[in-house]
Structure 1
Amino acid sequence: MAKRKREFVEEASHNSKGKTRRVTEVPKQATATYLHLITGSYERTLHGIIATIPSSILSASNVAPTEQHKQDESATPNGEEEKNSTSNGISKKGPEVTNGILEKEVDEVTFADSFLFNAHTSAIRCLALSPIPKPDDAQQKVILATGGTDERINLYHISPSPPVSKKGHVSVPSLSGASISQNPRNRELGSLLHHSSSITALYFPSRSKLLSSAEDNTIAVSRTRDWNVLSTIKAPIPKPVGRPSGDTAAPGEVPAGVNDFAVHPSMKLMLSVGKGERSMRLWNLVTGKKAGVLNFDRDVLQQVGEGKYGTGEGRRILWDASGEEFVVGFERGACVYDIESKPKAKLCPSPLTKIHQMHYVPGMKKNILAVSTEDGRILFYNTSPEAIAEEKHADIEEKYAKLPPIPEANLIVQLGGKTGGLTTRIKDFEILILPQEQGQPTKSIIITAGSDGTVRLWFLLFEELFMNQQKTTIQVGQVLAKYDTGNRITCLKAFVMTHNGDLEEGESEGEFKGLDGDDVESSSATNDSD
């Protein structure tokens, strides 16, 4: 199939169901942080958004929460803020907002659409980004891979730098009134067609490889230099063990497919969980063969909320940064395992609700696991050995003959939820660390998205994660801004744009080079191999 050459930024206008914030131009002398947000949806829409965050609103005096603020927030119904706050949720002594129009021009988070189009013929299920290049690496780009239920993997080049405003630039008109920021360096590469069923997970372990899993019970390893499939790992089809409620498999068949996989930081091992299997599989990535199978004990499934009629299958799996532990997510709970595959802690949201996404907080010495839920919360658990050891010495009785009760992981803080004014599901989220000066507290932006179609930017200081000295869970984080996409979001990816600006008019752009120095553009990204 010939490679498609069309620019996918051409359909940047969209019909937004919500009100869009009035864009205020940030002064040129003011520094800002640029975030590129990418969402996929049930409506087949791939949406790119550039969020501009002025540095002035990220100062500690504006967003750093105090103990008094937390007490006031807990005493106020639904966590609502005072009337003198601005509409984006930041407590500031600035001009008030009347009918959505600022009386005076102030710094605020602004959004601009970078691209918007129907990327697949059916729902988009997963996204993946290649490693973000360093700021001094001007020739590198970010590769975006999207997977849908149409069996396709679409590939794109995304510029890691924000577009610069040129003299005489005229903004592109749109029906919704949203600002549009086109970047000619964003372009489509093509599609991969080596899977025969819905794509379930995508991951770039490095710039040279792309791993993909699907409901055809295969995990494929593709090379980004020419997009050839180097190897295919085939998981066995599970044996039929009854038909659980809600099963959509055809009569006479069993649910099959790889739900998720996780690559060890050493790049030599991989774990996977699949449909219809109450087990996880260990794979040797050097040989591409199975290295072992660990069945989930019935007592473990009961303790993580998998009832008698539950499937008992792992839905998410994730390694920590050091490779010393991994977590398996089930429908309403999760279990943390050590390197020897022994359960060390369990995560059960209270009240019990469905789990959607899990991420380890980056840049932490301790293992802090963030989990998003159906009721609009992000729960932060401390799974480090010392925290689990404290729980083991609690009053725990051995109620099970085979397996003693698994200790609860230490829930330290939560973001969102009814207290934070968010009650809709968080389908996906990202944690981004902002550039900082030496000696300054670590600042982060947490981006959340769900089926309500709203993307929210939350500000969080890492020191807030360890401020809780009480038994009760405290609320952290502040909403910086919201953006309504008008679509039911299924997946989300985001990164901090690293460069100072794209090429000016008249400058030449070098060809994109892969990790091994070969030209990616020289080969078609379309692959029809089985």
Structure 2
Amino acid sequence: MATVTGKRKREEHSSKKIPLKKPASQKAVTGKPKPATKHQDTPASSHATTNGTLAEEPIHIQIVTGSYERVLHGIAARIPSTDLQRQPAKPTNGASTSSEEVESNVTFTDSFLFAAHVSAIRCLAISQQTDDSGKRLLATGSSDERINVYSLSTAPPPQNAVGKLPSLTGTATAENPRNKSLGSLVHHDRAITRLSFPTKTKLFSAAEDATIAISRTRDWTMLSSIKAPIPKPQGRPSGDTAGPGEIPAGINDFAIHPSQKLMLSVGRGERAMRLWNLMTGKKAGVLNFDRDLLAQVGEGKYSSGEGRRVLWDEAGENFVVGFERGAVLFGVDCQPRAILRPSPLSKIHEMRILTLPSSQGNVLALSTEDGRISFFTMDAIIENENGKLPTIPCIAQIGGKEAGVTGRVKDFDILELSSSEESDGSVANWIVVTASSDGAIRLWTVFEDDLAMGMGDANKAPRQVGRPLALHETGNRITCLGAFIMDGKVSESDEVEDVAGAEEEVDSEDSDEE
């Protein structure tokens, strides 16, 4: 058979449909994510932008999850703008609407799915958009002592993305060649516990070796390493997972002040919180948790008493230390101000702080073991008459038994959509993405006025807020989650490069047929 000339190949290619590349799940052995093809006909201005504006076009959200099964899963969710509008209330005859019963127009597309580590993925972090190239950095930490770093595209996938191979879940597959693996970091010799991108140029990582490493994202060089002291043995508290003869040690969590000059950390095996000076890399002080404070927050005699989470507010005036079944609000002077405890009592997993656009007030969101996300206003404090610390009331909640959610919410993220100047209250202010250990990802819309209505009377039971948007089953036991709005635009150089790569793939297929 005579060979086809290059001119004839280009003519045949113009009449052919360029096939998608193989799904990322078929390339798990390579360890590199190969997610979704770009959306070439949708400008960045037609989607929700980073400054909080909302357009008429549907928005796209990139969701990344890690799991006990070592799987790193990327999911792109397409949400029509009509689903973000306030819906009229429907009669329920006294019964609440379950998130599984809601009819949704949200479509999910698998971006990548592969085994990223050799053991369970424990944490991940997503940076802000690096530059005008439309990329974000993703870091994942595991029990295998490694930190994997990836570059993710912020361009939405095409609407008609369909995988070449049939899927067991029925979810479409859309790869993006601009999603790349940047390598692995081996700055720690124990399991990674926390990751954070405080700026576009720095990555902070903590591990069970009681160190916090600071890496530069330009060349991934470790600039500094902060070493926390090993705590003294104080018995074996319940829930301790240290080996026989070992002392429980390691950094549970850390929080960086908005000024980038101070950092707080809480560790295993010690009932204290440490303050670090990031300008010098030295310890600036230690705050011990007294027995009365631990008793009020639910840490009994046989509990560890260690801080599990720590979080600064946006202004840097207050911070919250989370324990197993409660949290404490501290002022910038490190003095405890109030106690936060979910009702009914339940174990706390993650914490987030969001700022109300109209009043600039702070609201703390806690995810619990019984499937709820509870909201606490940090500006309303109820004084106690018995001399104990005041309490902060719960003003609203998402999920729980009322919404048909019973599995623990292992992690969640809050994405801001619109501001008060551009929204008349008919468009949702936030999208809440929750991940459960049973593998379910749920999307909820939350309006600011719904949270504000719960601030009037602190003696009332918390209001059930949030309208369920969609439910997606991943099939993996999720341990961590991150999400961002895909508002990027594909550059011309990337378009030329990707089209050239597609032409080469078509030419290779033609040569194989010959």
TM-score interval for Structure 1 and Structure 2 normalised by the shorter chain: 0.7 to 0.9
Q: Deviations over 1:26-77 (max 9, x none)?
A: x9997210000000000000000000001122222x3xx65xx5xx55921x
Q: 1:205/1:506 Cα in 2 relative to 1: closer, same or farther (>3 Å)?
A: closer
**Aligned position for 1:312:** 305
**Aligned position for 1:526:** none
Q: 2:58 pairs with 32, 36, 60, which one? A: 32
Deviation at 1:178, TM superposition (A): 1.4
**Aligned position for 1:115:** 112
**Aligned position for 1:190:** 183
The answer on whether the counterparts of 1:53 and 1:110 sit within 8 Å (CA) in structure 2 is: yes
Amino acid aligned to 1:425: R
**Aligned position for 1:348:** 341
**Aligned position for 2:393:** 410
Q: 1:153 pairs with 143, 147, 150, which one? A: 147
Alignment of 1:411-430 (within 5 A): 411-430=394-413
**Aligned position for 1:357:** 350
Alignment of 1:173 with 2:165, yes or no, is yes
Alignment of 1:124 with 2:121, yes or no, is yes
Q: 1:73/1:221 Cα in 2 relative to 1: closer, same or farther (>3 Å)?
A: farther
Deviation at 1:245, TM superposition (A): 2.8
Q: 1:11 pairs with 18, 25, 41, which one? A: 25
Q: Deviations over 1:208-260 (max 9, x none)?
A: 11000000000000011111100000000000112223333233321000000
| CA distance in 2 between partners of 1:89 and 1:504 (Å) | 42
Deviation at 1:162, TM superposition (A): 0.8
Alignment of 1:382 with 2:377, yes or no, is yes
Q: Deviations over 1:163-221 (max 9, x none)?
A: 3468xx76422331210111110010000001000000000111111000000000000
| CA distance in 2 between partners of 1:372 and 1:489 (Å) | 14
| CA distance in 1 between partners of 2:273 and 2:22 (Å) | 39
| CA distance in 1 between partners of 2:299 and 2:196 (Å) | 28
Q: Deviations over 1:319-370 (max 9, x none)?
A: 0000000000101111110111111111111211100000001454111000
| CA distance in 2 between partners of 1:506 and 1:428 (Å) | 35
Q: Which moved more, 1:352-361 or 1:437-446?
A: 437-446
| CA distance in 1 between partners of 2:467 and 2:293 (Å) | 36
Q: Which moved more, 1:363-372 or 1:274-283?
A: 363-372
Q: 1:89 pairs with 98, 102, 106, which one? A: 102
Partner SS state of residue 75, structure 1: coil
> Which consecutive segments of 4 or more residues in structure 1 shift more than 4 A?
27-30, 500-506
Amino acid aligned to 2:197: F
The answer on whether the counterparts of 1:371 and 1:379 sit within 8 Å (CA) in structure 2 is: yes
Partner SS state of residue 254, structure 2: strand
Q: 1:505/1:320 Cα in 2 relative to 1: closer, same or farther (>3 Å)?
A: closer
The answer on whether the counterparts of 1:41 and 1:124 sit within 8 Å (CA) in structure 2 is: yes
| CA distance in 2 between partners of 1:416 and 1:233 (Å) | 39
Q: 2:437 pairs with 430, 444, 451, which one? A: 451
Partner SS state of residue 126, structure 1: strand
Alignment of 1:56 with 2:56, yes or no, is no
TM (norm. structure 1) is 0.79
Structure 1: state its 5+ residue gaps: 1-6, 15-26, 91-106, 399-404, 510-530
Q: 1:75 pairs with 76, 81, 94, which one? A: 94
Q: 1:270 pairs with 257, 263, 266, which one? A: 263
Deviation at 1:80, TM superposition (A): 3.0
Partner SS state of residue 449, structure 2: helix
**Aligned position for 1:491:** 480
**Aligned position for 2:424:** 440
| CA distance in 1 between partners of 2:27 and 2:93 (Å) | 40
**Aligned position for 2:505:** none
Alignment of 1:256-335 (within 5 A): 256-335=249-328
Q: Superposition RMSD on alpha carbons, in Å?
A: 2.5
The answer on whether the counterparts of 2:162 and 2:172 sit within 8 Å (CA) in structure 1 is: no
The answer on whether the counterparts of 1:89 and 1:478 sit within 8 Å (CA) in structure 2 is: no
TM (norm. structure 2) is 0.82
| CA distance in 1 between partners of 2:191 and 2:409 (Å) | 22
Alignment of 1:208 with 2:201, yes or no, is yes
**Aligned position for 2:73:** 47
Equivalences, count: 445
| CA distance in 2 between partners of 1:444 and 1:475 (Å) | 16
